Structure 1
Amino acid sequence: MSYETTIDDNGNTIVKDATLTPQADADARRRRLIILAVLAAVVLALVAYFLLRKKEEPAAVNQAPAVTVITPGRTTVEGVITATGSLAARREMPVGVVGEGGRVVSVPVDAGDWVRAGQVLAVIDRSVQNEQARSTSAQIDVARADAELAQANLDRALKLVDRGFISRADVDRLTATRDAANARVLVARAQYAELIERNNRLNIIAPESGLVLTRAVEPGAVVGAGSAALFTIAKGGEMEMLAQLSESDLASLRTGVTAQVVPVGTDKAFSGQIWQLAPVINDQTRQGTARIALSYASELRPGGFATATINSGSVEAPMLPESAILSDDDGSYVYIVGPENKAVRRRVTLGIVTDSGIAIASGLNGSEQVVQRAGGFLTEGETLRPVKARRPN
């Protein structure tokens, strides 16, 4: 820089800036522009950095996988056990020949008929037995006549004994004769009654009221005491289902529990109750039998197949859909959303299985956010973006 020196009127020296040259002035302006440009660039870089950082933060959040979660809460679950089995008469009574048997002359009932106690199911020819009964009846008359004659002889002897015409020994003999004659009357009557009872047993009769299930005899057949059962009757028409259950299911039931039975071939359900639980388990199938009592219905045919839905009680527990539950060699587990939206693997114990889901016996209290589906693609500790599942309308 150059300076200009002058002296004023008082003799003082004055120093002034000399006028800059055009080249120096241009350089100065250029330097100022460069400095301003650098400052502007720094400011723009800072602004861009903060703007980009704000955009990257939600982008990082959006990159976390979205998962549908549900909060199960606690629900009262009605336990249901499904079992299969066959239908049968609850009290099946085989009816056969009681007496000596013979030729069947008529069968007035057929399978499917209702009968009452004492009703004749089949009639057996008794022509010979009837003649024997008439002979025995005549023997009663003979014995009675002999007894009357013996009594008359004794009465006459008693009148003569005081006159000395008859000895006391003769009276005793006549008395014994009279007693023997009376005894023969009783024997004849007993023989006749026995024969009548035998004849009555020739007919096949119903021991109890009920429904005739089978008929295995036709007129003309010859039957005897060794013959197989001629009829099968369901006492009172009562039926039952023999439901086959596993050991664990059988242990959770008790008598009196209600059940719904649906026979194969129909959609109609019949209400019943368990009246007996098998005291033993089949060592081959490892199953036991629950006997479900049923009232008569034409759709319930013994020997048929049926499905039973048995109420096994109620529990209060979280309920999850099947899609939320995973399993491995260690058992069942679910994924829940933990702190900082991290995936947490939780071991669970399964309970009652229903049409609406599976009850969780242990492992959850119901307040957790459980991953509803796609848990098999998650890893523990992974950041998640939970989305609440929509409730069904």
Structure 2
Amino acid sequence: MNYESGSIAQDRLTGPVTPPARRAWIVAAVIAVVLAIGAWAIWGRGNHSAAAPGTAAGAEQLPSVTVVVPGRSTVDRSIAATGTLAARREMPVGVAGEGGMITRVLVEPGQWVNAGQVLATVDRSVQVQTAAALGAQVNVARADLTLAQAELDRAVSLVDRGFISKADLQRRTATRDAAAARVKVAGATYAESQARNGRLDIRAPAAGLVLTRQAEPGQIVSSGSGVLFRMAQGGQMEMRAQMSEADLQGLHAGARAQVTPVGSTQTFAGEVWQVSPIIDPQTRQGIARIGLRYDPALRPGGFASATVSGATSAVPLLPESAVQSDGRGNYVYVLDGQNRAERRDVKVGQVSDAGVSVVGGLAGNERVVLAAGAFLSPGQKVKPVLRAAAPAAAATNG
């Protein structure tokens, strides 16, 4: 009886364990475990690192970057230029003789003519009479020569008989020789007159295309009248392309070109036949002369644009990933002797499937970062991984 009373009293004192209390104990246990794990992660790893400072885990972690020494590659460039159209060989035609009044003009601009063809005629009425008089003098001189020769022949037949002295024979020989000389003088004077009359006609110096006409019937012209006709020899045209000093470097005769006149969608094939040997000190430009075949759409004096290919240059060639750009312009990262990144401003040339040609800022013997340049900063130390450069073959820019 007392035992039972004691058991009942004990149960009333302690009471049963309820579910909320059990959950509280579980949460407390979990928190304790988490705190223990965190303490181990902080203090345990720290002690481990401190215990082994010379291991790889304690060493400085440097980013690895791929670098290349680009060298210099021969690159075919495409150069865009503008300029004017002109006759490749322009021939100014004027008065070659003494001149006079133009009586007829026989050609018009745009007309093809042959070498020596008459372009315009000049009045020659006075010159014709002068030539006729000189022609008559030739006949007189020839008659005198005939008479002198006959007298000389008779004297030769009589000198052996003693009727004529040798001195008389010599005088008649001299008379004959003088008459022969007068024939030559008269003939030369007559030929000169004929030549002068022939120069009164304004003729084409060579076959070609008439470009301009500044002569009209009734106009008085002379050797000081200036240019009356302009011709393109053989009808050949050219474009005189203005190019910068840098673009002219490596450009050679024979380079292919495509020329498009302003206002036209038609393109004409040509080739560079002459590169200017001088640079204008004011504009720092030179002229590349692009030869073209004749076409009515090519009008001298007109404006045109051209794309010239075939110019070559030896420059560093990089993939596009190596070239960065910001507000200051284009740049690359190169590594110094201590493997620190250094910004290098560059001038970019042509961009093609082969890569980006660098025309300024690089010599080609630097270690250039190929990728990850956007994540580097000047002075940052890196671990370089050298990659072999592409063969220095010609890269064609399309």
Q: Would the TM-score normalized by the shorter structure come out above 0.5?
A: yes
- 2:243 corresponds to which letter in structure 1? L
Partner residue of 1:86 out of 75, 79, 84: 84
Aligned counterpart, 2:274: 276
Deviation of 1:35 after TM superposition, in Å, equals 5.6
Preserved CA contact (<8 Å) 1:276 1:292: yes
Deviation of 1:306 after TM superposition, in Å, equals 0.8
Deviation of 1:34 after TM superposition, in Å, equals 5.8
Deviation of 1:279 after TM superposition, in Å, equals 2.2
Q: Aligned equivalents of 1:283 and 1:348: distance in 2? A: 27
Would you say 1:41 and 2:39 are equivalent positions? no
Preserved CA contact (<8 Å) 1:333 1:345: no
Aligned counterpart, 2:158: 160
Q: Aligned equivalents of 2:372 and 2:135: distance in 1? A: 95
Secondary structure at 2:270 match in 1: strand
Secondary structure at 2:238 match in 1: strand
Preserved CA contact (<8 Å) 2:350 2:357: no
Q: Aligned equivalents of 2:32 and 2:114: distance in 1? A: 105
Aligned pair count reads 327
Preserved CA contact (<8 Å) 1:80 1:354: no
Aligned counterpart, 2:63: none
Q: Aligned equivalents of 2:76 and 2:157: distance in 1? A: 96
Preserved CA contact (<8 Å) 1:318 1:366: no
Q: Aligned equivalents of 1:177 and 1:76: distance in 2? A: 83
Partner residue of 2:102 out of 90, 98, 104: 104
Partner residue of 1:349 out of 337, 346, 349: 346
Secondary structure at 2:81 match in 1: strand
What's the % identity of the aligned pairs?
Answer: 48
Partner residue of 1:368 out of 366, 371, 375: 371
Alignment of 1:140-219 (within 5 A): 140-219=138-217
- 2:16 corresponds to which letter in structure 1? R
Preserved CA contact (<8 Å) 2:131 2:194: yes
Preserved CA contact (<8 Å) 1:325 1:332: yes
Aligned counterpart, 1:29: 16
Aligned counterpart, 1:359: 356
- 2:371 corresponds to which letter in structure 1? E
TM-score by length of 1: 0.72
Q: Aligned equivalents of 2:278 and 2:219: distance in 1? A: 42
Deviation of 1:186 after TM superposition, in Å, equals 1.2
Q: Aligned equivalents of 1:24 and 1:91: distance in 2? A: 129
State the structure with more CA Rg.
1
Deviation of 1:181 after TM superposition, in Å, equals 1.1
Secondary structure at 1:201 match in 2: helix
Bigger shift: residues 265-274 or 280-289: 280-289
Secondary structure at 1:325 match in 2: strand
- 1:243 corresponds to which letter in structure 2? A
Preserved CA contact (<8 Å) 1:350 1:359: no
Secondary structure at 1:29 match in 2: coil
Would you say 1:318 and 2:319 are equivalent positions? yes
Q: Deviations over 1:321-367 (max 9, x none)?
A: 99x73232xx42479xxxxxxxx997563432459998253699796
Preserved CA contact (<8 Å) 2:332 2:346: no
Preserved CA contact (<8 Å) 1:348 1:360: no
Deviation of 1:256 after TM superposition, in Å, equals 2.1
Q: Aligned equivalents of 2:281 and 2:5: distance in 1? A: 123
TM-score by length of 2: 0.71
Preserved CA contact (<8 Å) 2:322 2:368: no
Secondary structure at 1:300 match in 2: coil
Preserved CA contact (<8 Å) 1:260 1:270: yes
Gaps in structure 2 of 5+ consecutive residues: 36-69, 334-340, 381-398
Secondary structure at 2:327 match in 1: strand
Deviation of 1:253 after TM superposition, in Å, equals 2.0
Alignment of 1:210-249 (within 5 A): 210-249=208-247
Q: Aligned equivalents of 2:252 and 2:28: distance in 1? A: 84
Q: Aligned equivalents of 2:306 and 2:100: distance in 1? A: 46
- Return closer, same or farther for 1:89/1:360 CA change in 2, 3 Å cut-off: closer
Would you say 1:327 and 2:330 are equivalent positions? no
**CA RMSD, aligned part only?**
3.8
Aligned counterpart, 1:264: 262
Q: Aligned equivalents of 1:294 and 1:216: distance in 2? A: 26
Q: Aligned equivalents of 1:38 and 1:173: distance in 2? A: 165
Secondary structure at 1:227 match in 2: coil
Deviation of 1:111 after TM superposition, in Å, equals 1.0
- 1:37 corresponds to which letter in structure 2? R
Aligned counterpart, 1:55: none
Deviation of 1:243 after TM superposition, in Å, equals 1.3
Q: Aligned equivalents of 2:20 and 2:7: distance in 1? A: 20
Gaps in structure 1 of 5+ consecutive residues: 5-16, 50-73, 336-343, 382-393
- 1:236 corresponds to which letter in structure 2? G
Q: Aligned equivalents of 1:189 and 1:370: distance in 2? A: 91
Aligned counterpart, 2:111: 113
- Return closer, same or farther for 1:192/1:243 CA change in 2, 3 Å cut-off: same
Aligned counterpart, 1:129: 127
Q: Aligned equivalents of 1:360 and 1:199: distance in 2? A: 65
Deviation of 1:137 after TM superposition, in Å, equals 1.4
Q: Deviations over 1:27-57 (max 9, x none)?
A: 3522x756631243257779999xxxxxxxx
